[in-house]
Amino acid sequence: MRRTIRAGVLSAVIAIGATTVAIPAAQAQDDHHRQQEAAGDRQAVREAHEGQHAQDLRTILRLRPDQEPALAAFLQSHKPAMKPPENRGSSGQAGIQTTPQRLDEMARREAQRAAMNQRHAEAVRAFYAALSSDQRQVFDALQRMHGGDERKRGDHHGVGAAGRGPMDGRPPGTPMPRD
């Protein structure tokens, strides 16, 4: 009788354990599926936005058909280069790298950014050269409206306009007020 009870309890424990393992695995699969769908949705929204942006430029600048290749190159230069999968999320490897290795990696990424910025600048210059005088004036005005002056935007470290301190108006180094 004791063996039967033990066997029944053991079977119940094994069944519960199998269920608790299967549920997180199914949830993880569902989460992964939802993430893929969301990524697809974001990609579709991004592509629609890019298409609308291109159409808006055509309309606002009144581009001629012979200016389309320059527009295409200009728009393509705004797209980030696709990174190979091994470069994505390399922060896990950063923990095991030595300081010189991390410095080399930072220098490599900075060189890639500089090359991307150079390609972008060349595409902008080529597009600008393809525009008429009137179109250039409109393009310049659009760039000013989009905040082409980096000093007006502040940086990405919580510093406000013109580097005057945190976004809440406190001077740099001033402690946060308590409520």
Residue 95 lies in a domain: no
pLDDT, tens digit, for every residue of 114-150?
A: 999 999 999 999 999 999 999 999 999 998 988 765 4
Instruction: Give me the domain span that covers residue 140.
Output: 64-80+102-146
Q: Are residues 30 and 46 in the same domain?
A: yes
Residue 168 lies in a domain: no
Residue 33 lies in a domain: yes
pLDDT, tens digit, for every residue of 50-74?
A: 899 899 999 999 999 999 999 998 9
Q: What is the pTM of this model?
A: 0.54
The pLDDT assigned to 63 comes to: 92
Q: What domain count does the chain have?
A: 2
Q: Residue 161: CA atoms inside 13 Å, Cβ hemisphere, count?
A: 3
Angle at CA 111, nearest 5°, toward 126 and 116? 25
User: By percentage, how much of the chain surpasses pLDDT 90?
Assistant: 35
Q: Are residues 47 and 73 in the same domain?
A: no
Beta bridge partners of 159: 166
pLDDT, tens digit, for every residue of 3-33?
A: 666 666 666 656 666 555 556 666 767 777 7
